[in-house]
Amino acid sequence: MEWYLIALLIMATFLFLLVVGTPIAFSFGIVATFGFLFLEGPVYLFRLPQTAHESVNSFVLTAVPLFILMAEILEFTGISSDLYIAIERWIGRLRGGMAISSVLACAGFGAVSGSSAATSAAIGRIAIPEMLKRGYSKSLAGGAVSTGGTLGLMIPPSLSFIVYGFMAEQSIPRLFIAGVFPGIMLALMFSIYIFIHATISPGIAPIAPATTWNERFSALWRVWAIVLVAFVILGGIYMGVFTPTEAASAGTMVVLLMAILYRKLNRNNFQGALLRTVSTSGFVLLIIVGAMMFASLLSMERIPRELSTLIGNLEVSRYLIMAAITGMFILLGMFMEGVAIMVLTVPILTPIVSSLGFDLIWFGVYMTLMVEMALITPPVGVNCFIIAGIGKNYGLSLEDTFRGILPYVGIVLVAAALLIAFEQIALWLPDTMR
């Protein structure tokens, strides 16, 4: 059978399993099992347990539960509240200042979290009630925090970069540092849009009450914890002191000490953080196991290699191919969760992108940007469901949130175009690493 017919058969079976409600990790595993059984023969089934073991037998992946645990501990320490209050006191008087404060607080919390869901939840619990209480438009409030939460994936440390680096065999420290400038660029683009939108339509974002200079400066000391943790993680990685896993360990210890210092660490809080860490880590790692088995089948059938050769022989601009890949990510983002999109597409797309002459570190940043878009794209948009759940008691509906994120999807696409046109946005900083 021709390779493209095999590829269509494999993908059709995988999509069918998803449509009928099979969890994505098991969909990967089922397709891989029956693919090896019928396409290669029972003798090749030994590759499945071998691949499953090798896919998680990695020191690098130890960083996944550590960064998740760090985010869970941060959530009950109140550090996110301190960060939001400090930023809001400085820029709250701007048009749309509270919404801008939400985006910037998400960026700051993302620098110590690594999880988009944790970032959205932590900032949303503080920002959504405050904005709605002060008369902000529901769609503006929901859209700003839902979209701001995605910065937790781009601004390092990032679980997305860990998963991509592991699957694509790329340097995770370089990926972390490569996400800094794009993350800052996105935060600024979101903030500028909010300011312009609120200036044109002032009724959607009333100006916040005035604060004194004493209140502003007194709020600054509250952000020392975020700055310290970010410096330990990012500074240690950039200077070559820590590997990502060591940075995750160091960051978790610092956050634990802060929870003790803030007197927020008790048995119930810590037990809940551990249970949520195990649940989330198990979900992520199980998807990776299934995806690596699926990737092993694709590799055995030479599908990525043949597809890469086919696209490489096309007489079209590489930028046109990237535009097509972007369109594919938009469609996948409507129906699949971010991590699932990444583990599905990395084995297929990295050979293609490499053959087009793009740097794979750059592609990790681009792919993370596409995963960010998937987190807010209806009807699946995970972040929108989180924020709608937080705002339910304040009159914020899921429809309001989805309505609010639509302009940000366009902004993410503009950012993707800038990233494709100017690769050094992502590559300049990691090129300066020791």
**For helices 338-355 and 360-374, what crossing angle results, to 10°?**
150
Q: Which residue has the tokens 């944790």?
A: 118
Phi-psi region of 207 (alpha: psi -120 to 50; beta: other; left: phi over 0): beta
Could you tell me the two tokens for 185? Answer: 């660029």
76, 179 contact by CB (below 8 A): no
Q: What is the dihedral of CA 189, 195, 201, 202, to 10 degrees?
A: 160
Q: How confident is the model at residue 197 (pLDDT cuts 50, 70, 90)?
A: very high
Is the pLDDT assigned to residue 153 strictly greater than 90?
no
Is the model more confident about 316 or about 194? 194
Is the pLDDT assigned to residue 187 strictly greater than 90?
yes
Q: Give Cβ neighbours of residue 382 (< 8 Å, ≥ 6 apart).
A: 116, 117, 337, 338, 375
Q: Which residue has the tokens 């940000």?
A: 408
Could you tell me the two tokens for 383? Answer: 């972040």
Tell me the mean pLDDT in the region 220-243. 82
The DSSP annotation for 152-182 comes to HHHSSS-HHHHHHHHHHT--HHHHHHHTHHH
What distance in Å separates the CA atoms of residue 216 and residue 294, rounded to the nearest whole number?
Answer: 53
Q: How many C-beta neighbours within 10 Å does residue 140 have?
A: 24
Tell me, what's the pLDDT at 420? 92
Is the model more confident about 112 or about 140? 140
What distance in Å separates the CA atoms of residue 328 and residue 309, rounded to the nearest whole number?
Answer: 19
The 3-class SS string of 52-101 reads HHHHHCCCHHHHHHHHHHHHHHHHHHCHHHHHHHHHHHHHCCCCCHHHHH
Q: In the chain, what are the domain boundaries?
A: 59-431
SS3 350: helix
Could you tell me the two tokens for 260? Answer: 């003790």
Q: How confident is the model at residue 265 (pLDDT cuts 50, 70, 90)?
A: confident
Is the pLDDT assigned to residue 430 strictly greater than 60?
yes
Could you tell me the two tokens for 222? Answer: 């509250």
What distance in Å separates the CA atoms of residue 177 and residue 157, rounded to the nearest whole number?
Answer: 9
Tell me, what's the pLDDT at 114? 72
DSSP 293: H
What distance in Å separates the CA atoms of residue 384 and residue 146, rounded to the nearest whole number?
Answer: 6
Tell me the mean pLDDT in the region 137-142. 90
Q: Which residue has the tokens 């794979």?
A: 360
Q: Give Cβ neighbours of residue 280 (< 8 Å, ≥ 6 apart).
A: 68, 115
Q: How many C-beta neighbours within 10 Å does residue 313 have?
A: 8
**For helices 382-391 and 138-149, what crossing angle results, to 10°?**
130
Tell me the mean pLDDT in the region 410-417. 93
The DSSP annotation for 358-412 comes to --HHHHHHHHHHHHHHHTTSTTT-HHHHHHHHHHGGGT--HHHHHHHHHHHHHHH
pLDDT digits (tens, 9 = 90+) for 327-374: 888 888 887 777 788 888 888 888 889 888 899 999 999 999 998 888
Q: How confident is the model at residue 44 (pLDDT cuts 50, 70, 90)?
A: low
Q: How confident is the model at residue 434 (pLDDT cuts 50, 70, 90)?
A: low
What distance in Å separates the CA atoms of residue 169 and residue 54, rounded to the nearest whole number?
Answer: 13
Tell me the mean pLDDT in the region 272-276. 88
312, 260 contact by CB (below 8 A): no
What distance in Å separates the CA atoms of residue 370 and residue 326, rounded to the nearest whole number?
Answer: 8
Tell me the mean pLDDT in the region 48-77. 81
